Structure formats: C-alpha cells, structure tokens
Structure 1
C-alpha cells in the first residue's frame, strides 16, 4: 500500500513541486495539499495520512513547528518532515523538540526529497548539521555568530535595544555593539534596513 502524504505549504510553487514528485512516485500517494498549518490536525482527522511535508512559516501566521507538536501529541505514528527555505538555525533545534522526524531545506537540500522520505519512513531521523549559506548584504550568513543571529531575530521582531537586552539577558550597550557589528558586516546603513532584509532574505523569522 502506498504511503499517503500531506503537503502543508503556502508557497504555491513548492507545493506544486511536492505534489508532482509524489504523484509521479510509485511508493507515495498524495493525501492532500493545504496552505495553512492551523488546518493540519483537522485535516488528518478526516483523511488517512502517513507522512506530512510541513513548511514552517505561513502567510496566515500559522507555524509548522507548532503544528508538528500538535500532530505528534495526537498522532505519534505519523511522520513529519519539516521543509523550509528559511536559514534561521533556531528552527532545527525547535523542530527536534517538537518531535519532527526529519528536516530538509528547499532548493538547497543535499539529499533528494524522495530519498529523505524513504529513509524517514524507514525510521531514520535526518537533520542537517549546518544551515545553508545565504548572503545578507555583504556578509555570508555563516559569518554571523549565534548571538548575532539572536539579536537580529529580536530586532526583526521590532524590539528596542533595551527590550532585546532584557530578553537575551545582556546589557543595552552590548546590544548596540552587536547591531554595530552586524551593520559593519552587512554594509546596511541602519537597523531598520538590517531587520527588513534579514526577514526578506529568510535569514531569521521575526517572532
């Protein structure tokens, strides 16, 4: 019996690509394709599903990692592969904690998605060791420290220097230092430009 796959992705291009890959495979059958993570649990209640390909960030504000946690609580036998084009390293850790079975970067995944699906259904858990290298301004994302990414993420969320410091348990002056370093690395002229482009180029996801 073919493995039934649900695609959860609000990007039409990648959703259509996953649908095509599944339909052309002899081992898998498309259970359905939806564009909001908030609809996942309701969908699988009514439609038998063995595997979910789950994006993280949806335009309606729903979150694939939170949806994964809900799926695993109610349907622990359903496999979930997180698929994303966002390079925020925090997501790998969060996906593991939510109970995801594997993690795959769209377009830059080194392993073909069908192979990843096969291995995941066989019981393997496959997570990348590193995030893909993207370019933010003049700087490759691999040049940022973990703390710089943390500051950038909070900056993108609209927090002030004081609020960032309180959330990360560092001083306001230290936050200013990190932002100056980020501006120097990227070549952006101000914090607003940095924050907008960090989200636009999917280096971080604003929380």
Structure 2
C-alpha cells in the first residue's frame, strides 16, 4: 500500500525538504504540495489522502490550525501532523483540541519527520513533552507565569492597559504589576520593545 500525503507549507525550502525525505520511502507518495492553508480543505475533498503535513503560520495570513479544523470536520479519519518552527505556547493545546494526531517542531524535535509520519500512520499520536524553550531578553520562556503570558499576548496587539484589564477580568493595578514583572524579568526598557521581541521570537503570536 502506498500512503498519499499532502504537504502544506509556505516556505519553498521546507516543502522541498519534506518531499526529499518522504520520497526516500517507497511506501509514501506526495500527492499535493501547496504553499497556503487557505484552500487545503478543497484539496482534501477532491482527492484520496492518508496524511496531511500542515505548517501552522503562513505568510499570506492563513493559519494551518484553522485549516486543520475544517479538514477534521470534513474528514475526521484523515491524519494530520502539525509542523512549525515557532514556539507559540498555545498551539499544541489547540492542536490537541482540534484532534490533530501529531505535532512536530522543525528545529527542536528529536524525532525525524519520517519517524513521525510512520508512527502517526500506524495510529500513534506524537506530541512533544513541552514547547521549546526560547529566550525573551534576559528571561527564559519557562520563567514566565501563565498570566504573564496572557498579558504579553495582548501587549503584542498594541492595546492599552484598560483593554488588557477588560479582556482578562483583572484590575488595572494588576495589569501594571504583570507588565512591571515582565519588564523586570526580560530586562527590556519599554512595553513596546517587549511586545516587538515577543513577536519576533515567535513566543506569542496573536491570531489576528
């Protein structure tokens, strides 16, 4: 039996690397290779596939997790591996809720993509134990509390303290305290610098 695989990734080099690895195995065939998640569900409807390798963050604004959610509603039996190089802390949880079988970090995972493909097709669900640790200024990502991460995510959208307070249901003073702790831990001199670096590192990415 030959397993048919679709690759969804907006980076040309990543797509070619996936194809190179997959073509090493005579049991796998890359049926489609597309650079956007926007129409991934259409490809799924119009062809017989066994597995989708789905990058999460696309330059055209499409989101692999949104596409995976649509696919799972259309064909819940179709297996999906979410892949990313960004350490956004919420993505693994959302992938699990959607029903995505496996999750693979491009640079940080010990297993190769071929190992993940083989085990996923055999019925396993493979997820990393934790999100890769990244540095945010002087702080390690693991040193931030869940509430500080929530505040940080809203900071990256450019909203003021009042909006953060309203969104999280906490007082203005508590918001100010969290921001002060974030600045103290990371060593950044301003909330703007903190927000920019949080997005550059990919530690938090607001889904606009």
Q: TM-score per shorter chain, which class?
A: over 0.9
Q: Give me the whole-angstrom Cα distance separating, in 2, the residues matched to 1:143 and 1:105.
A: 21
SS at match of 1:32: strand
Q: Give me the whole-angstrom Cα distance separating, in 2, the residues matched to 1:163 and 1:152.
A: 13
Q: How does 1:89-108 map to 2 (within 5 A)?
A: 89-108=89-108
Q: How does 1:34-183 map to 2 (within 5 A)?
A: 34-183=34-183
Q: Give me the whole-angstrom Cα distance separating, in 2, the residues matched to 1:35 and 1:195.
A: 28
Q: Give me the whole-angstrom Cα distance separating, in 1, the residues matched to 2:184 and 2:77.
A: 48
- Tell me the residue number matched to 2:14: 14
Q: How does 1:22-41 map to 2 (within 5 A)?
A: 22-41=22-41
RMSD: 1.3
SS at match of 2:58: coil
Q: TM-score, normalised by structure 1?
A: 0.95
Answer whether contact 1:66 1:98 (CA < 8 A) is retained. no
SS at match of 2:96: helix
SS at match of 1:54: strand
Shift of residue 144 of structure 1? 1.3
Once the two structures are superposed, residues 131-190 of structure 1 have per-residue CA deviations (whole angstroms, 9 ceiling, x without a partner) of 101111111111111111111111112221111121111112111111111111111111
Shift of residue 90 of structure 1? 1.1
SS at match of 1:65: helix
**More displaced stretch, 74-83 vs 15-24:** 15-24
Aligned residues: 207
SS at match of 1:24: coil
Q: Give me the whole-angstrom Cα distance separating, in 1, the residues matched to 2:19 and 2:184.
A: 43
Once the two structures are superposed, residues 49-77 of structure 1 have per-residue CA deviations (whole angstroms, 9 ceiling, x without a partner) of 21111111111111111111110111111
Q: Give me the whole-angstrom Cα distance separating, in 1, the residues matched to 2:124 and 2:138.
A: 38
Q: Give me the whole-angstrom Cα distance separating, in 2, the residues matched to 1:194 and 1:25.
A: 45
Q: TM-score, normalised by structure 2?
A: 0.94
Q: Give me the whole-angstrom Cα distance separating, in 2, the residues matched to 1:146 and 1:195.
A: 16
